[in-house]
A and B are shown apart, each in its own frame.
Chain A
Amino acid sequence: MVTREDVINIARLSKLYIAEEDLDEMTKAMADIVKFADTINNASEDGVEFDNINNLSNAFREDEVVPSYDRDEILSNANDTDEGHFLVRKRV
């Protein structure tokens, strides 16, 4: 069961704004999505490991330093910056 409160909570955690009038529709849509995801339960068999279906392991990187990016480039996508930092403004 997905409740209106779940949707509000998830939206808050995901930093999404959902208008009051959209909540009912969104709740129903979320319930459908979860129901769809639930179909995976039908596929479960004892002893079958779904965790690693690709059977891949150990894609490692060696511990060798590569120069980092220029700071201006790193900060170029930020909404706000100051003194070489990402800046998160006080929420009013």
Chain B
Amino acid sequence: MQYEMVAGFETHVELATNTKIFCSCTTQFGADSNTHCCPICIGLPGVLPKLNRQAVRYAIMAGLATNCHIANISKMDRKNYCYPDLPKAYQISQYDKPLCENGYIQLSNGRKIRLNRIHIEEDAGKLIHKRGDTYVDYNRGGVPLIEIVSEPDIRSVEEAKEYVEKLQQIMRYIGVSDCRMQEGSMRCDVNVSVRPVGSTELGTRTEIKNMNSITFIGRAMEYEFARQVDLIESGGEVEQQTLRYNDAENTTSPMRGKEDANDYRYFRDPDLVTISVTDEEIEELKAKIPELPFEKVERYVNELGLSEKDAANIAKYRNIAEFFEAASEGVKNPKSVSNFIIGQIFRRLETEEDKENFDIKTTPEQLCELVKLIEAGKIKNNLAKSTLEKMLDTGKPVTEFVSESDMAGLDENALAELCKKAVESNPKAVEDFKKGKQKAVKSLVGFVMKESRGKADAAAAEKIIIEIIGG
């Protein structure tokens, strides 16, 4: 029998606020343990939490960018459970009145992954297990999170990866989170079930907790899919349980028994008043949402003539997309701008983070100037490439490296002279060419390019050289 994978995601995203969700401690990552704490975020009795306005705004923006309906009225609830990462023995979250509902993310194959809800909540502290003891650091406790809950609409590992990447891109674009999975500012719980192809019923699902890498998500889902299919094929049944993915062995294993939903004893947090958002405020936040990556890809392909792949590569990072758009201002063929970015500039940006930051010396105006000179026929491509390298090294404009006389190009006579010189000074290459070694002509052209300091038109030079040798 053929089986199909059915998966849904619960994605936690740390919001990029300066302070925690209910107190004014900083959210900065990487400090000494328990140095970003106060009585509120370590849960001392008698303190009064106060909601961070910016966290609410960011969550609404996340909802708007994922096609959610924003609730005019929502509230905070207590989710009770007892574990050392939670000093109050409850987490302040949202239960039956979340801030955002009924959104979706559209995948490149056209399928929509529905979002059930996005709610705000506080992050838990960090636990380090040593020799059986547990060391607790509450710096992360109280950092604002949104939890993005999808419907079980994902049907393959590819769709899952694209879904996570899209969420990551969108959240970064709108500036609500840096979504750094290694640092834990974006984490996914994935629930997976299988069913016979064609069936519309949902199978029993398992939930893989706390995944912090897209690669691992893919592997864990593949493993879990195969495990469940094997189980069913051999007459067994899938047991609903919470799993942990072990990346070293590429397996999943059950976690300690988790209390089921009833035991969370959700109730309204009496310390926190209703959140009321007016339509005007929603409109105001909507106006802050920039053109999103997939919208950019569409525009780059349809209006600027980029390939789908190049468009996606540029639009993936907001800084790069903005650089590209500024550098394409008034350019006839923006494709040459994207070629410089994806070719030469990307070579200098090794990591994803480098690309995200896009810290280069050349300004978009400078690249624009260079491309316009090429389009006006004043600089040949080879010269442009080597010039761009110098520009990127120094941050200086093209005019620093290419003089007026360089840009004037070579007139026909000068070119013919140089070609003649090339033939005369390279008897070996000429000999080779005559013997039928076609490639030998390239070294002659190279000579011309070098002598002309890149000004010559290589194709024209080649033609003239062949004429000279032949004649």
Interface residues in chain A, defined as those with a beta carbon under 8 Å from any beta carbon in chain B: 13-15, 51-52, 54, 56-66, 68-69, 71, 74-75, 77, 82-90
Contact = CB atoms under 8 A, between A and B. Distances in A.
Nearest to A88: B134
Contacts of B32: 71, 84
B334 to A, nearest CB: 38
Contacts of B19: 61, 63-66
Given A68-B36, A71-B32, A61 B52 contact: yes
B39 A60 contact: no
B38 to A, nearest CB: 5
Interface stretch (B270-278, B322-330, B358-366, B388-396): B270-278
Q: Which of B56, B128, B273 has the most CB of A within 10 A?
A: B273
B339 interface: no
A64 B18 contact: yes
A13 B263 CA distance: 9
- Interface size class for chain B? 35 or more
9 contacts: A51-B75, A60-B50, A61-B19, A65-B19, A69-B37, A83-B33, A83-B135, A84-B34, A85-B34
A63 B52 contact: yes
B80 to A, nearest CB: 7
Contacts of B80: 13
Interface in B17-69: 17-19, 24-26, 32-39, 42, 44, 50-56
A75 B34 contact: yes
A60 to B, nearest CB: 4
B18 A65 contact: yes
Contacts of B273: 52, 54, 56-59
A2 to B, nearest CB: 14
A85 B24 contact: no
Given A68-B35, A68-B38, A86-B84, A63 B17 contact: yes
B53 A85 contact: no
B122 interface: no
